[in-house]
Amino acid sequence: MKARAFFIITTLSLTIASVVTSCKKDFLNTVPNDRLSGEFFWKTEEDAELAVNAIYPNLDAQSQLFLLDGLTDIAHVNQFFAVSSQVEQNVYDASSSVIASQWSAAYKGIAAANFVLDNINRVPETETNKVALNQYRGEAKALRAYQYIKLAASFGDVPLVTKTISIQEGKQLVNAPINEIWDFIDKELKEAVELLPSTIEKGRISKGAAWALNARANLYAGRYQNAIDAAQKVFDLNLYHLYPRYEKLFSYAAEGNEEIILDRQYLKDVLSNNVFSTMAPYSQATSTNTYVPTKSIADLYPMANGLPITDINSGFDKFNPYIDRDPRMRYSMFVPGDVLPDGKIFNPLPKSGTPDAIGSTFNATSTGYTIKKYINNEDLANPANNGINSILIRYAEVLLTFAEAKIELNQINDQTALNAINQVRQRGDVNLPPLSNTLNREQLREAVRKERTIELAFEGFRMFDIRRWKTAETAIPGSVYGITYLDNGQLKTIEVPSYIKKFDKNRDYLWPIPRNEKILNTNLVQNPNW
């Protein structure tokens, strides 16, 4: 059995155990079948493992990562009638179901972790199970911190819930200051590191994953030295390396490779996802193109010589815009002329007569680009039953976190920041020229931000990045543009009709506390100007 199926089978076992314990002869003493009874559970190491495994399904699926980027400048919500489209256009309020689902999903994961940490001490500890029980404690702590990172970055001051609570207690929660949330995350992850092994079954939180999350959290919090130190801990483990083929990084063949620090596990026919049917070009099994790339990200990819396409010496050919570009462009997104999973050529040009033609249907791409990450030929035959894992932490992110934090602290004389960026740029099948060692701090800041955007495109980082950089107010607003193509001898650029993105710098750097949460709990304080 594949290692990546570990939580699937055990979670099913957990459900079965719950049902079995409810089938007692004495009807009046029946155990409720919607929960686990302490009378029958928390007796063995296996019980603890089952409970920890039940936390993992709260990790992000690919659809969540695509959504986050779809609300920024680098991607677009393809169906104008989708609820998430209202958020992208900034015509939503605190009652938005999109925002509410982000809040509730995170607290669901936190509640699952709290359940473990509140009860795991009930399992009798022995010399033979002590290490395993500590590992489960560490996993729960790190998984809880994972959710709080997203909450803090999205909402700012949020309730800090560290134990299982009743409905009445939930109605009395208050917002904890964001610095208190970051303090808690840092403490939790450092405690988790002490409990976790360095090497572990694929798909589980390891020591490296906890340190990587700590680096991410401290970068988001602006605690740059802590981010550097945590990233260095990942390096010191010497367990992770850049996978040499970016082109295959999101393929079945590359699952579990040396770059992946944590992924959410899937298994076709058992616990599958539908990333192909929702993200592939429309011509491929009538996929829905839920989110599509924009001209903003397309134009950001430099030429293969490392120069931006706006540089007159770059060699950029506006009539052949996809030739000699950073290879990650065509590894990350389908552009006109690419070969599709069914072997045909991707042709989204208006009036091309293909199913992918812009304007042919509301499911066809509206920009002329579609996302290629996670789209695998193996899934064409059964597009709604995919087993490709969702990558949540990879080594390239840690390198770029280290580099950015060093640059922000102006620790650039030793060139370790520059070297980290160049490692990412010079991955085997990317092989861009290294950045010059003469770049000053401002130039390096621009370089690392551009590198994060390109390297991590469509992986759910962009929203958090432009918020903490305070660049969202310039990056997001405006029309949505797509491909530039030749029409009757004239170059034309696609503009999505009647669609304007907006961003209010006095309000939108934080999402609103969901309205229903405030109705249920009047103690919660709404974010400014919501």
How does pLDDT run across 242-295, given as a tens digit for each residue? 999 999 999 999 999 999 999 999 999 999 999 999 999 999 988 899 999 999
Task: List the one residue out of 397, 452, 388, 391 whose CA is nearest residue 262.
Answer: 391
Question: Tokens 């396409």 belong to which residue?
Answer: 309
E strands, 121-252, where?
none
Task: Concatenate the DSSP letters of all residues of 456-482 into one string.
Answer: TTTTT-HHHHHHHTT-HHHHS-EEEEE
Tokens linked to 286: 């009538």
Beta-ladder partners of 390 = 264
Q: What is the pLDDT of residue 38?
A: 59
| 82-97 residue pLDDT tens | 999 999 999 999 999 9
- Matching CATH number, 3-22+37-59+93-268, of 2.30.40.10, 1.25.40.390, 2.40.50.100, 1.10.10.10: 1.25.40.390
Instruction: Provide the 10 A C-beta neighbour count for residue 175.
Output: 19
pTM of the model: 0.93
Give CA–CA dist 178/53, Å, rounded.
Answer: 29
CA-wise closest residue to 291 among 509, 59, 471, 85: 85
User: What per-residue confidence (pLDDT) applies to 16?
Assistant: 33
Domain boundaries, the chain: 3-22+37-59+93-268
Contact 4, 202 (CB under 8 A): yes
Predicted local confidence at residue 37, as pLDDT: 58
Contact 355, 346 (CB under 8 A): no
pLDDT of 3 = 47
pLDDT tens for 28-50 read 334 445 555 556 799 999 999 99
